[in-house]
Amino acid sequence: MNLELIHAELVRIREALEARPYASGAPAAKPAAPRSDEVPMPAEIIDDAGNVQVHFGKNKGVALSSLGDRSVAWYAQEAEPRIGNNGKPFPPRPEDVLLRNAARTLIHQKRGTLPSAAVPTAPSVNEEHVPF
């Protein structure tokens, strides 16, 4: 009788596991890290982006211009949000935002894909209708 109870419990566990939406038999795939080609545009263009220094980790105090392209691309990616005890993400720290935008700016400057600042142009003038 003891074995029948254990068997019934195991059957219920298996059914519960199979009912989960991500139970495909294979482990859940971890999202692939974005390739360095997929670096988003900076939210704010940082002047002298190469001189912005990393503020954490093994590259702490190192300017972005001194790092390799792969490292700069890593700093340009959106980091996983830090989650508080209430389950809500903390807002990004200003130094993290600065570093991310500087890395993005630097990459797009090197590629020549950084949009130029919109320069106001003088309206075209039709010389035939000049009032003087």
From first to last of its 132 residues, the chain has per-residue pLDDT tens of 688 888 888 888 888 888 776 645 555 555 554 454 588 889 899 999 999 999 999 999 999 999 999 999 999 998 888 888 888 888 989 999 999 999 999 999 988 888 765 334 445 555 566 565
Q: Report CA Rg, the chain.
A: 27
Distance CA 96, CA 54 (A): 9
Closest CA to 99 of 41, 53, 33, 47: 53
CB environment 50-84: b (16+ within 10 A), e (fewer):
bebebeeeebeeeebeebeeebbbbbbbeeeeeee
Specify the amino acid at residue 106: L
Amino acid 21: pLDDT = 66
Q: How far lies 116's CA from each of 18, 45, 109, 122, 126, in Å? A: 53, 10, 10, 17, 28
Is the pTM higher than 0.85? The answer reads: no
Of 106, 15, 12, 1, the residue nearest 53 (C-alpha): 106
C-alpha–C-alpha distance, residues 20 and 81, integer Å: 25
